Amino acid sequence: MKESERTVGFIDIHSHIIPAVDDGSKSLQMSLDMIETAYYDGIRTIVATPHFHPGKAKCSASKIRQNYELLKDNVKTLYPDIELLLGREVYCDYGAIEALEDGDELLTMFDSGYVLIEFSPGVEYSTMLNHVRRVVMLGYTPIIAHIERYRCIVEKSSRAEEIKNQGAVIQINAASVTGNGGFMLHSFVKKMIKHGIVDVIATDAHDTDIRAPHLSEAYLYVKKKFGADRARSLFIDRPHEIINEEEGDL
Ligand SMILES: [Fe+2]
């Protein structure tokens, strides 16, 4: 990327960057390498969102917190202008809905009213819609992780708008924007961005290799194809609102 094209200040709201708590970073060193990659990509705020499956979690909430604090301490010293926040990527099933009904704060993003939720790729649309409605009725704002990954949505794209209209925030992965998922998926993603369905583009980073934390390439693609305002909204402004918005708080 040319120096003149460098944009700094991206906000990544979906990242498996905490060491040894899920299928993302395997060690503190790997997490710091991911931070370095993110930093040179122009990312300055990262929400760490380890997978969390209420009732079936392989890693306890206290372990997640402990490893997050360890990473945060290191980041504070090495990259003082990077802000690290703690969230979760919650596997959304009946168990997760029950945990949210019980007011389990550990499921939310940075102690806000936002909950990043994912489903099985083959989830039935009626199940997804019902769960999203339940989450909204409980007073939370669901952020739908990588909506391009669900077959029921890609095969009928008007459903993405219906999910959004329930009050959900729609997130797409940066790699899908740059065409890594194949022609059909790329067409779907372009259509979603063009029609204003997508709210946020994030990395869903898991490592420093093929799932590394890059946003700049996708940002430049969106800027060229859909304009600077849309690009700024998806990578900076809307995620900034999410991490600062009073409305998102319970
Ligand atoms: Fe993820």
User: 10 Å Cβ neighbour count for 4?
Assistant: 5
CA of 47 to the centre of ligand 1 (A): 11
Positive or negative: CA dihedral 182, 34, 22, 103: negative
CATH, residue 202: 3.20.20.140
| Cβ 173 vs Cβ 203: under 8 Å | yes
Is residue 43 assigned to a domain? yes
Residue 249 has what pLDDT?
A: 45
Whether 250 is in a domain gets the answer: no
Find the 52 Cα to ligand 1 centroid distance in Å: 10
Residue where the block lists tokens 């961005």: 193
The total of structural domains in the chain comes to 1
Whether 106 shows a pLDDT value over 80: the answer reads no
Task: Using the mean position of ligand 1's atoms as its centre, give its distance from the Cα of residue 196 in Å.
Answer: 22
CA atoms within 13 A on the CB side of 48: 31
- Specify if 189 maps to a domain: yes
Characterise 160 by phi-psi region: left (phi > 0), alpha (psi -120 to 50), beta (else).
alpha
Helices (H), 49-103: 61-78, 94-101
Task: Quote the ligand 1 centre to 4 CA distance (angstroms).
Answer: 31
Evaluate whether residue 1 is within a structural domain. no
Distances (CA, A) of 234 to 13, 98, 215, 224, 227: 11, 31, 11, 14, 11
Instruction: Answer with the residue of higher pLDDT: 247 or 83.
Output: 83
Segment 155-199, tens digit of pLDDT: 999 999 999 999 999 999 999 999 777 888 999 999 999 999 999
Tell me, yes or no, whether 235 lies in a domain.
yes
Residue with tokens 């990327």: 1
pTM of the complete model beyond 0.85: yes
92 alpha carbon – ligand 1 mean position (Å): 13
User: Is residue 13, in this structure, part of any structural domain at all?
Assistant: yes
For residue range 192-206, list pLDDT tens digits in order. Answer: 999 999 999 999 999
Going from the Cα of 176 to the center of ligand 1, the distance in angstroms, rounded, reads 13
Cα 204 to averaged position of ligand 1 atoms, centre (Å): 5
Has residue 2 been placed in a domain?
no
Domain containing 133: what range? 8-244
Is 3 a member of any domain?
no
